[in-house]
Amino acid sequence: MTSAGTGPRSGVGTGTHCPYCALQCGMTLTPRPPGGARVGPRDFPVNEGALCQKGWTAAALLDTPDRLTHPLVRHRRDEPLRPATWEEALDLVAGRLRELRERHGPDAVAVFGGGGLTNEKAYLLGKFARVALRTSQIDYNGRFCMSSAAAAGIRAFGLDRGLPFPVTDLRGADAVMLVGANVAETMPPFVRHLRRARDRGGLVVVDPRRTATAELASLHLAPRPGTDLALALGMLHAAVTGGHLRRDYVGTRTDGFTEAWRIAARWRPEEAERVTGVAGADQRAAVELLAGARDAYILTGRGTEQHSRGVDTVSGWINLALALGLPGRTGSGYGCLTGQGNGQGGREHGQKADQLPGYRRLDDEAARRHVASVWGVAPEELPGPGRSAYELLDALGTATGPRALLLFGSNPVVSAPNAAHVTRRLAALDLLVVADVVPSETALLADVVLPVTQWAEEEGTMTNLEGRVLLRRRAVPPPEGVRGDLTVLRELAVRLGQPAERFPDDPEEVFAELGLASRGGAADYAGISHRRLRAGEALHWPCPEPGHPGTPRLFLDGFAHPGGRARFTPVEHRGPAEPADAAYPLVATTGRTLAHYQSGAQTRRVAELVRAVPAPYVEVHPDTARRAGLADGDLARVVSRRGTVEAEVRCVPGIRPDTVFVPFHFPDTGRANLISNPALDPISGMPEFKACAVRLTPANEEGS
């Protein structure tokens, strides 16, 4: 192993972690002269030496031919980007930021982060926005990932940690229900933890598509997109009327059951069947599998929460888990599967519009005092909460919105809902600055592009889907001319008048400060250090003191609400914000494929992954395709009220006839988010990615 002090050496493997999803699989990287590296397996609890296709090919990102290695600038949008020195680029950015702030006020400048940034970057980015820029306008793309589940978890349990237990606990489960989570394609090594449940006939999958994960299940429930909450209510009804309510658990460990049941009592499984299309008998069978198991889990994913009522929908599944007595027990539980690599840590330390480090609320005066004292500023100097992610993107360049945007670790031209509109808003800015590894679709719109280090070229911490904080080690040197994000933030802060010592750029020093800022918060990292992680300790937050062993299992002694009881939430089903109609008779849903990840800016540069899935496609039931005059392999248009996607037809018998599926990894006319609906959840700000009304036509049909 390479020690932190010596740096990587040719031929010596470094234990690190995959750059993709929140499973954060362990791997070994060995430098390969004259450049790049070789990926090798590493025994780590979440993946046990296994990697998916993306993980095995991850090293190809390190020497991709179009890697950014020097800053690019332009002074006018009609000019091409040209190479510049770091001094020229940073001076240009700082000068324009000062000018816009003086003319329009601090909120004229916005910051947009990413769920793939390390904890150190996420922390310093939030500090930079609120201290160096004094802006309230900061949010991140994790708002599009797990915000609804986070809000639902907080109101049920008083705390949000995706999995409040280690992934390895699932190995002993007799029954697992996956709701809106296609783990066989999005995080394949996770499937090995489901073997027992699968082999015992206890794996239930809820998904409108017959996915690779659904193929493994003994019971597949395929609801109409946007009707998951009706299904959860029907299953809660089945649990209570079927004699499966854990009355002892509900009475001693929860509050609010009566109010939640008052709504669910109206939702007989047959009534839920009318709305969802899932047979009442199958709803009862799923409940009986969960209730009859000694150890059972309900796990939710993006499919059930990326809706305009996503918080309520996740609350519906949590209500079912509470009625069955699952959360807060050894061997059973409820959890949400985080998507992005640092989706958990990224939302804990200050990137979100309404949060401060340690998962503290920005409008909490005690929290403001604590964090301000760590930062060396007065509490009243910290701005209040700003706009959530889509609201922020929607306001860019408007009369009342930000005039400049600094963007780190995100590609909203592809990943944001209503993508054509977001692209227009980015183009309307006076200044767009993008820090990235490659020339993403968003970077190509920028006035200034800053080349930064990537996963294997730097040290930093990530927090995986089980709340485990792990150290991603530096395995190879970065290309000459590339700087770390922490250094970029420090250099800009100094140019904006901040003392250099307020913005350290050493990851270990930044993490130590993060620990101080998070001390006493819900996500308390105060006892975690790079030194402990380097020594191989498995540390799950909260970890409040240096000698504390961490907390791999939450809620065993009580939930995080005052009094220690979990809370049922009364929730009523409401359909999608945009239901199908005569003009747009189908429902489109979006998601990921095995070969690609997020906006595809990384994976579309890996030849093996491009060969596996080279272009956008639309999954359609054969009968639906036939009615539209289409056949397998034809080029189709998927049209919504916001835009049109062009994609090759894949006829798939396992998808619902009223549903089409489009993966969201592709650019240009293949962008799935050209059609997606930006209707927002009123609590979380999550857009409705998973249900919008569309029609399907041949691409060569006029007027389509």
Please report which helix (H) or strand (E) contains residue 404, including its range: strand 404-408
Detail the DSSP E strand segments found in 153-232. 175-179, 203-206, 219-221
Q: Is 637 helix (H, G, I), strand (E, B) or coil?
A: strand
Q: Are 158 and 560 in contact (CB under 8 A)?
A: yes
* 301-323 pLDDT tens trace: 999 999 999 999 999 999 999 99
Tokens found for residue 222: 């395929």
Cα separations in angstroms, 523 against 195, 357, 371, 533, 546: 31, 8, 14, 17, 15
* 504-520 pLDDT tens trace: 999 999 999 999 999 99
Taking 70 as the pLDDT cut, the residues of the chain under it are 1-11, 702-704
Burial class, 399, CB count within 10 angstroms (exposed 0-12 / middle 13-18 / buried 19+): exposed
Bridge partners, 296 (sequence order): 175
Q: Are 505 and 487 in contact (CB under 8 A)?
A: yes
Measure the CA–CA gap between 338 and 353, rounded to whole angstroms.
19
Cα separations in angstroms, 384 against 356, 370, 389, 400, 484: 10, 15, 15, 17, 28
Measure the CA–CA gap between 371 and 367, rounded to whole angstroms.
6
Could you give the domains of the chain? 14-63 (2.20.25.90), 72-142+342-518 (3.40.50.740), 147-336 (3.40.228.10), 586-698 (2.40.40.20)
Determine the straight-line distance between the first and last CA of the chain, rounded to whole angstroms: 58
Q: Are 456 and 29 in contact (CB under 8 A)?
A: yes
Measure the CA–CA gap between 326 and 246, rounded to whole angstroms.
9
CB atoms within 10 A of CB 312: 25
Measure the CA–CA gap between 555 and 552, rounded to whole angstroms.
10
Measure the CA–CA gap between 692 and 579, rounded to whole angstroms.
7
Model pLDDT, residue 11 = 59
Tokens found for residue 638: 């998927």
Tokens found for residue 262: 């008052």
